[in-house]
Structure 1
């Protein structure tokens, strides 16, 4: 007969493997969201939500730690019962739960360490001792014009500030902020970010942003902004700069986007694509077999004349120019590469995980595996110049220099 110790080790290993699958692939849906309740945060967050908050239907169904652990203990023992093995004792189940809690604690510590490392990298790159230099690094917050504060979304009810970065899950995060701040989107107050219309959430002035404060509060606006930056929890999400550029190119110039075709692509085709008279619309260009190349887009970014006509479009503007990480002390730095874990971690830190859940579908799937393909037609000299153009974002947010492309 197999020893009792053998069965205990077998069950522990089974439970641990199931836990890893749940955490990293969310196979079990809502039951996977419990794991970060054991995590604590050193971030500045308020101790209590003002006025309380209403739970969503999904949140009401979230199981407790013990109910989930009981379910998995019973599931793991199902095979044993089928083989008519003796029922485990209470001490066996206690041992299983203790092992489960230890694993959860290790995961929570990993996520806290991840945030410490990201913020340390940011502070180090912003320090006066750093060799990294870029325009605007050493200016004071008061020197930043209101027009450069339009990416900061404010939720006064939950005391949250989010600096959104286009092409970094910002549609989903804007939807979350709309739900939290109870903003009307198309005349409707949504309680589930998954249902917020993606084409409406980007409407100007839909969400409260810092650049609106001057019109609302006049001369006291800057003082109010600085107070909120001190007291509220501030976060942003970033991604590998080159992958973000590929994502922007695909979304705005490969897909049928007539607005960006007319505003940008026609000029690029004319200047860099040897096309003196580009078709008037995206569909006409497609029918004529005329397509903007990624190399044309890179030429446009590197052309000194581009910024003389105005700042980069936000979809390819550098993150440090929109979110000012050397002037603002962020409490949380998320990355698209670890979006699922970071989003869940952040919502629990903010104590709004029973109000809203981060949407998991419709995510942009651009990844680093496409870099070689898209950069194949870009000369090495241009690649190195492009890196210098986005070097600050690489180093501020801890992304390695893509040496294989250089």
Structure 2
């Protein structure tokens, strides 16, 4: 009897000790470590929606289900094998939805070999990034900080797709609308008639740039709390990370054409009126963009460059994303990108990337709309900008030129 009682006491004490260890482990190491070693739940089910209902976004998963998805749906690099479970029972969905749904485990992958030239191009671009980040002659704010030192608000351009293990840093004015469309299709974050949208170009433009459609790094804090930064690092290590860039000066021309030569009420009120007051001798510019265009008033390209070079500009607010430097948007010295695309070689690079991601049979890069701003126009656009201002502008964007392999625009700077 005494032996049995003593045994029960040891069992109780042992259980209490194990519970204490679990609590300590949870608090010190993190919930992600604990749950990464437990069985994962089935993948998310596609919710039922009535037919003829408009586009809807998928329900945001809970903390634990998202951790499950992180493990269960992750694609091991180089395998190309989706690890999703069999699709859920769709008997309660409409016949149209049943016909349109294609289980991802049945998607076939194009394995056409990538040309040696394209593989070498990527190797050179990645190597250049590493060399420039290690080169002491390339200096810019934040270059030598760690990933942990990057403020959360500066991680809003890193879009995460947990289904395929992809991270995309979008750069405005570098085909980002179409790449965002592709990320929406791959992440299945947009449902139509109860099934994921498959056609990138069928996604309305207002949804493409709707922040609720994309799960970005700066949203991790709300979902994961103190485990956010740890999970970012895990995904940065495991996922394929890509970025697309273009000639920095041509990107500025494109931004100016799109935001100030076209009627854009928001950009007119936020930026154009400031430029007109400061640099165009317009102390009381028209109240709306329609009034301004009606009398032929809008800031010139030279006014735009003055605005970028004015120290007062960034004292008031950081550069808008459409002309903010790429190194400030995507942190290439803290994040080792696996793929660096250039807009100048967009079609080849897009095809190469989709093959590398093994989704080239699932989605194609839309080529129906291309920005027509060409590098050959630089001299004409900068003809109204004083040479000294051009050189100051180059200093402002020189890190982007050097990091991504764009030649110094001597024809513009030496006139």
Q: Would the aligned equivalents of 2:109 and 2:358 in 1 still touch at CA under 8 Å?
A: no
Give the drift of 1:60: 9.0
**In 1, Cα distance between equivalents of 2:136 and 2:203:** 42
State which of 148, 166, 191 in structure 1 corresponds to 2:198. 191
Q: 1:205 aligns with which of 204, 208, 212?
A: 212
TM-score, normalisation: structure 1: 0.75
Shift of 1:211: 0.4
Contact 2:110 2:358 in 1 (8 A): no
Structure 1 consecutive aligned stretches of length 4 or more whose deviation exceeds 6 Å: 52-56, 59-65, 185-188
Separation in 2 of the partners of 1:194 and 1:55? 19
**Residue in structure 1 matched with residue 255 of structure 2 by the alignment:** 248
Equivalent of 2:122 in 106, 115, 139? 115
> Counterpart in 1 of 2:283?
276
Residue 365 in structure 1 maps to residue 372 in structure 2: yes
Once the 2 structures are TM-superposed, how far is the Cα of residue 61 of structure 1 from its aligned partner?
A: 11
Alignment match of 1:158 (pick from 137, 157, 164) = 164
Contact 1:55/1:354 (CA < 8 Å) preserved in 2?
no
Measure how far apart 1:370 and its partner are: 1.6
Look up the match of 1:167: 173
CA offset digits 1:179-228 (Å, max 9, x no partner): 00001279984101111112321112221000000000100000000000
1:348 correspondence with 2:381 = no
Q: Is contact 1:150–1:209 with CA below 8 Å preserved after alignment?
A: yes
| CA distance in 2: counterparts of 1:239 and 1:258, whole angstroms | 27
The aligned residue for residue 178 of structure 1 is 184
Residues 253 and 261, structure 1, Cα contact 8 Å, conserved in 2: yes
Which runs of 5 or more structure 2 residues have no equivalent in the other structure?
Answer: 1-75, 88-100
State the partner residue of 1:294: 301
Q: TM-score, normalised by structure 2?
A: 0.74
Q: State the number of aligned residues.
A: 321
Check 1:268–1:45 CA distance in 2 against 1; reply closer, same or farther (3 A cut): farther
Distance in 2 between residues matched to 1:135 and 1:213, nearest whole Å: 25
For residue 45 of structure 1, report the CA deviation from its aligned partner.
4.2
CA contact (8 A) 1:249 1:294 kept: yes
Does 2:132 correspond to 1:125?
yes
Contact 2:263/2:289 (CA < 8 Å) preserved in 1? yes
Tell me the secondary structure at the aligned position of residue 179 of structure 1: helix
C-alpha contact (below 8 Å) 1:152/1:210 kept by paired residues: yes
1:278-306, Cα deviation, whole Å (9 max, x unpaired): 00111111111212100000000000110
| Cα drift, residue 55 of structure 1 | 6.2
Change (3 A) 1:352 1:55: farther
Measure the CA separation in 2 of the matches of 1:289 and 1:358.
38
Unaligned runs of 5+ in 1: 1-42, 66-104
Matched residue, 2:82: 49
CA RMSD of aligned residues (A): 2.3
